[in-house]
């Protein structure tokens, strides 16, 4: 099943109109290579394609940063596409040289982890490149070819099996389960273990499993560390690395310095629910599980993020909670306006929290349930 990615048009337009490079981040298997190949297939450019996962004669040329050798390598090409660029040492400086010295060459680089790529790219490429993040398939992307009814029919699959592109070409839950197990075992920690110096993947796996059970809840890093026999600092470092590897992401508590607002601990969510459910060994349907509400919250927070990112909105996301127990699953700040959201998997109505409107009189409040969720994420 071919799904058109929402980033295809803006990236294609940028390459046509600008001489700045393009950097695309995102999880492994999210479709970055396919996206770039689809864009290049529409162009008449002669392209040099290099893969950081597979060393060739070109490797030494780039790593040497010898301009005369690079001119021989790149001569005659309109475009260079470097896939899995984070694996090439000093890739930021290499890309800087290419962009500075080869003015007419279009430059595209992808990375399955910001762990190494971002730190070695951001400073050398200031003003020379634009960055995009590609996530697993979004509901907004599916909506390009599916009806509202079809999206509702497949909602449970998205909550259980996630949205990695490969899943949409697999028939049956057994094939999808096998794919997710392989993805989780083979790719989830690949960049993290290679670039961070962590030797024991079991600790990472155990930490992720604990986080999997706590989606939608405030997470105490100290308690996580104690449970795993590691220091708070080590647990915090592992979480930071997992976030930079596009496995999890955090949302902090919304706070305007009111005493009763709780904001010291973050909530942690997964970039893909199929990965999360595979980690805890539970791919059961919603009727046979007790975490449906947590899945719903993770799903909506994630899809709203994809929506705003792909629309290139300037936004901030938080959760909100008072010491009294009043809370909102998501607070969105956009264009100076605040909207509080409460997520309900059922059609049950919910009153606007009085304390929210009292504290933030110009804010709005919405309940997102199975009757209006598509509007929220599309």
Q: Which two tokens stand for residue 81?
A: 């596409």
Q: How many CA atoms lie within 13 A of 330 on its CB side?
A: 27
DSSP 15: H
Angle of helix 232-244 versus helix 221-228 axis, rounded to 10: 110
- pLDDT at residue 122 in the model: 62
Report the alpha-carbon distance of residue 152 to residue 373 in Å, rounded: 9
HSE (CB half, 13 Å, CA atoms) of 263? 15
- Tell me what pLDDT residue 157 has: 97
The single-letter DSSP state of residue 36 is H
- What pLDDT score was predicted for residue 232? 94
Q: What is the pLDDT of residue 181?
A: 95
CATH architecture of 139-310: Orthogonal Bundle (1.10)
> How would you write the pLDDT of the chain (378 residues) with one tens digit per residue?
789 999 999 999 999 999 999 999 998 899 999 999 999 999 999 999 999 988 889 999 999 999 999 999 999 999 999 998 988 888 888 999 999 999 999 999 998 766 556 566 666 777 889 999 999 999 999 999 999 999 999 999 999 999 999 999 999 999 999 999 999 987 777 777 776 777 777 888 899 999 999 999 999 999 999 999 999 999 999 999 899 889 999 999 998 866 778 878 999 999 999 999 999 999 999 999 999 999 999 999 999 999 999 999 999 999 999 988 889 999 999 998 999 999 999 877 778 888 898 889 899 999 999 999 999 999
82: β partners? 50, 109
Compute the chain's Rg from CA coordinates. Answer: 22
Task: Please say whether the beta carbons of 112 and 27 come within 8 A.
Answer: yes
What's the chain's length in residues?
378
**Phi-psi label, residue 90: left if phi above 0, alpha if psi -120 to 50, beta otherwise:** left
Q: Which superfamily, per CATH, for 8-133?
A: P-loop containing nucleotide triphosphate hydrolases (3.40.50.300)
- The domain limits of the chain are 8-133, 139-310
d(CA 205, CA 225): 13
Query: Do residues 143 and 151 make contact, with C-beta atoms less than 8 angstroms apart?
Result: yes
What string of DSSP letters covers 183-208?
A: HHHHTTTHHHHHHH----HHHHHHHH
pLDDT of residue 347: 75
Provide the pLDDT for residue 348.
73
- Measured between alpha carbons, how far is 373 from 378 in angstroms, rounded to an integer? 9
Looking at residue 262, its pLDDT comes to 80
8-133 and 139-310: same fold? no
The pairing of beta strand 248-251 with beta strand 266-270: antiparallel
DSSP 136-189: SPPHHHHTTTS-HHHHHHTHHHHHHH---GGGGG--SHHHHHHHHHHHHHHTTT
At 193 the pLDDT is 75
Contact criterion met (CB below 8 Å) for 342 and 351: no
């Amino acid at each position: 099943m071919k799904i058109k990615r929402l980033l295809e048009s803006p990236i294609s337009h940028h390459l046509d109109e600008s001489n700045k490079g393009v950097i695309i981040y995102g999880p492994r298997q999210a479709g970055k290579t396919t996206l770039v190949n689809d864009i290049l297939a529409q162009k008449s450019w002669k392209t040099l394609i290099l893969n950081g996962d597979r060393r060739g004669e070109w490797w030494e040329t780039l790593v040497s940063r010898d301009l005369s050798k690079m001119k021989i390598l790149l001569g005659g090409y309109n475009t260079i596409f470097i896939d899995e660029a984070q694996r090439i040492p000093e890739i930021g400086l290499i890309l800087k040289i290419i962009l500075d010295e080869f003015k007419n060459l279009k430059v595209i680089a992808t990375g399955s982890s910001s762990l190494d790529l971002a730190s070695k790219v951001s400073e050398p490429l200031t003003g020379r490149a634009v960055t995009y993040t590609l996530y697993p398939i979004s509901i907004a992307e599916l909506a390009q070819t599916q009806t509202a009814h079809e999206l509702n029919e497949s909602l449970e699959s998205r909550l259980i099996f996630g949205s990695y592109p490969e899943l949409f070409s697999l028939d049956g839950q057994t094939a999808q389960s096998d794919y997710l197990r392989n993805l989780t075992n083979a790719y989830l920690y690949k960049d993290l273990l290679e670039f961070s110096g962590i030797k024991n993947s079991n600790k990472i796996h155990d930490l992720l499993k604990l986080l999997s059970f706590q989606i939608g809840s405030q997470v105490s890093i100290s308690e996580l560390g104690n449970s795993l026999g590691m220091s708070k600092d080590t647990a915090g470092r592992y979480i930071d690395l997992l976030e930079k590897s596009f496995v999890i992401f955090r949302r902090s508590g919304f706070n305007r310095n009111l005493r009763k607002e709780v904001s010291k601990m973050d909530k942690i969510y997964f970039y893909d629910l199929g990965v999360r459910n595979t980690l805890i060994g539970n791919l059961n349907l919603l009727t046979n599980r007790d975490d449906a509400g947590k899945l719903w919250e993770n799903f909506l927070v994630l899809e709203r993020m994809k929506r705003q990112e792909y629309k290139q909105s300037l936004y901030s996301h938080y959760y909100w909670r008072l010491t009294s127990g009043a809370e909102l699953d998501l607070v969105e700040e956009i264009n100076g306006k605040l909207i509080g959201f409460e997520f309900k998997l059922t059609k049950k109505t919910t009153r606007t929290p009085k304390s929210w409107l009292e504290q933030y009189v110009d804010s709005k409040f919405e309940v997102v349930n199975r009757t209006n969720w598509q509007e929220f994420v599309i």
